[in-house]
Amino acid sequence: MEKIRLFILLGLLVAAFSSCSKKSGPTPPVPPPDTTVTVKPPGQATLLTPANNEPCTVGTGVTSKQSTVTFTWSASAYTDGYELHIKNLVTSGITVLTTANLTLDATLALSTPYSWYIVSTSKKSTEIAQTDTWKFYNSGPGVSFYPPYPAEAVYPLVNQTITFPVGSGGGNLTLKWQATAGSSPITGYTVYYNNLLYNINTPNAQIITTTTNSATVAASAGTTYYWEVVTTDAAGNTSTSQVYSFYVE
């Protein structure tokens, strides 16, 4: 009888202990690590030399026709490489050079105006960053006098199509451009305007002289027009823009 009581007492104790114990569930899985990578686009470089709107007189390897010009700029963030874009402002020819460094040499024609800018690129991003565009005149050593930079079209833009609000008969529009002086102040402009490209530099072209950066011309619908600007400075130096065109629909 005593043994039976002992077994019953032990059973009650086990049951009481079991009821007070917390049952633990399965261990939750460990969350995977965050593999999201934030890709930052390249930053914008800062142009250093050649200086903006200044003659370049420090070229190396100078001949009678060309010199080697060194382009420099400061580093930009999150950047793997740089593209140097150089434009001949007389011929409109464009040269693109690439590097991972902060300097590049280019052989350029003397007595010629150029513009340039830098594009920052990254292997981790499809975005790019472009600097402002600077101009310089590759005059060569010892030359400090240089002509104005060729005028650049503001309106109409290159190969722009214009719809006249006055209807199919056309009307008047105002050509607009911007120009930068060389070593002497700009004193005036001569605009050559025609609907035939081969007439642009002949007496058949409409010729307008002005001291402002605009000229009003007549235009008709269904016609392509061509125009160029010759800029003159106080020293008698001149520069000729490229021939621009636009279409009136």
179 pairs with which residues across the strands?
Answer: none
Cβ–Cβ under 8 Å, residues 215 and 236: no
pLDDT at 122: 96
Question: What phi and psi, each to the nearest 5 degrees, are found at residue 123?
Answer: -70, -20
Cβ–Cβ under 8 Å, residues 87 and 136: no
Among 19-28, 36-45, 84-93, the minimum mean pLDDT is found in 19-28
pLDDT at 167: 46
Count CB neighbours of 69 within 10 A: 23
Q: Mean pLDDT throughout 142-160?
A: 90
Cβ–Cβ under 8 Å, residues 216 and 172: yes
pLDDT at 166: 47
- The answer to pTM > 0.95 is no
Q: Which residue has the tokens 């105002």?
A: 174
- Alpha-carbon distance 159 to 16, whole Å? 94
Mean confidence (pLDDT) of the chain: 87
Residue 3 has pLDDT above 70, yes or no: no
Dump pLDDT digits (tens) for 191-219. Answer: 999 999 988 988 899 999 999 999 999 99
Cα–Cα separations (whole angstroms), residue 198 to 23, 145, 223, 245: 96, 33, 15, 13
pLDDT at 23: 52
Amino acid at 196: L
Among 45-59, 156-170, 229-243, the minimum mean pLDDT is found in 156-170
Q: Mean pLDDT throughout 147-172?
A: 82
Cβ–Cβ under 8 Å, residues 144 and 111: no
Dump pLDDT digits (tens) for 219-236. Answer: 988 899 999 999 999 999
Cβ–Cβ under 8 Å, residues 241 and 149: no
Both tokens assigned to 35: 């593999």
User: Reduced to 3 states, what is the DSSP secondary structure of residue 88?
Assistant: strand
**Which is higher by pLDDT, 206 or 29?**
206
